[in-house]
Structure 1
Amino acid sequence: MGFETIQFAVADGVATLTLNRPAVMNALNARMRAEITQALTTLPREVRAVVLTGSGRGFCSGQDLTDAGASVNLERTLRDEYEPMLAAITGCPVPVIAAVNGVAAGAGANLALAADVVIAAESASFIQAFTRIGLIPDAGGTWIIPRAVGMARAMGMMLFAEPVPARQAAEWGMIWQALPDADFAAGVAARAQTLAKGPTGAFLAIRQSLAASVGNDIQEQLELEARLQGQAGRSADFAEGVAAFLEKRPAVFCGR
């Protein structure tokens, strides 16, 4: 697979997708959005987890404001380019970790927050920078962030456009974990291997059930849990998990 704006590599069941425009802090242009979408929707069969990260000193600075076509028609860009990219993340057939190695700003922050799990280096930060140029948060930010941190914090982040350091983001519940910079790479790799060796079907059912819980009442959620658990209970992974438990050995799950 040949790409111009991202790097894509697979090792030990983990695909690492690296945003690779470091000279502009990995700003999102049309080609990068298309390449992210392509990479995530054409994953090799052996991939069982994805790590999404950035090259250089930042994760992603958001929309490339020199990308003239996008700036002319923001609505079209969001509908035709951002929505497919975000759908490729939230609908990825394997779990996605956003490994936020530096600043994640604007749409770059919301790109990270769309992942299943967000792990950040302590030197990283998240900023909803949109009001600095007279815009509103997009790329899913107005949906994801208030559900993660509450309305008051979401409103403050978006109105004041101030950076939220990674450790504070973790304390707020906006991300899963903030790691010391020296431990960041190893910590992400260990988490990715846990997911790559785990029961992929169960992971995706967890994603589905949590997403549905936002709009479900308790009875609807109980019914969904029963249906998804029934599917999981008929899987080869469940049979292997029980056998491994009884035999006191690590489970070897079959993947996807």
Structure 2
Amino acid sequence: MSGPANITDIGALDEFRRALIRFREELGVAVAEADSDVKSTFVWLERDRMLHWKRAVPRLDEELTSTKAALFRKEMQTMGTGQRPSTIDEKKAVGRAKARVEDARERFDKTRRWLMTLEREVSLYKSHMSPMASLIDRDLPEAIQLLRNMALALEAYLATPNVTLGEQLDRARGNVASMRRSGELRTAAEELQDLAAAEVLQADERVLTAARDAALRAVKTEHALPQHNAPAQADANAPGTQDGGVTP
């Protein structure tokens, strides 16, 4: 069981609550900015760089083809003296076109790999930021409200007037007197009188019950006597017993 709280200044609770409010706001802004940066980077790679290099590769391939065609035409030319013209510039153009094509393809591949890596990292980032979102949306608001309730409870406690022991006894005596006047509280003598009256009633009930049981038994006895005399009367009325005769 935790010990009593040693709170000497309610204002410290309010100050701590305000600090938590500021911390929650700053944390929310930081998380929102991080989410925005991640989203903007993802959009930049997916919709800008990927499309750019995807379109650049075929365009540069066409330029390379054009420079090669120009070199081929130059090599097929002959001068009036029978010598072939110089193709140094055309060859340099072909080399530059090849370099641009290779660079574009390499950048396209790197962008695609970086996009896949970013998708994986964004998924990990969201899973790691889930507790932070719960902290901002649920835990910190609950803590802020709890501190507010604690401060209000302490303020209400301090606002309650102190009651001495004598005042408490006076209030108790007044409550007892009020209960006696209203009949809610009875004295010991009154309770003994009620018990004696209840015992008298119970004794009367026992006497009445005994008298009723005796009357019932008497009635049952009267009904049972004629049944025992019935065989004797039947013998007296039988043939051969009339006029005092005896049956041989």
- Specify if TM > 0.5: no
The alignment's TM-score, normalised by the length of structure 2, stands at 0.16
Relative contact order: is structure 1 or structure 2 higher (C-alpha 8 Å, sep ≥ 6)? Answer: 2
- Point out the structure with the larger strand share: 1
Which has the higher Rg, Structure 1 or Structure 2?
2
The alignment's TM-score, normalised by the length of structure 1, stands at 0.16
- Point out the structure with the larger helix share: 2
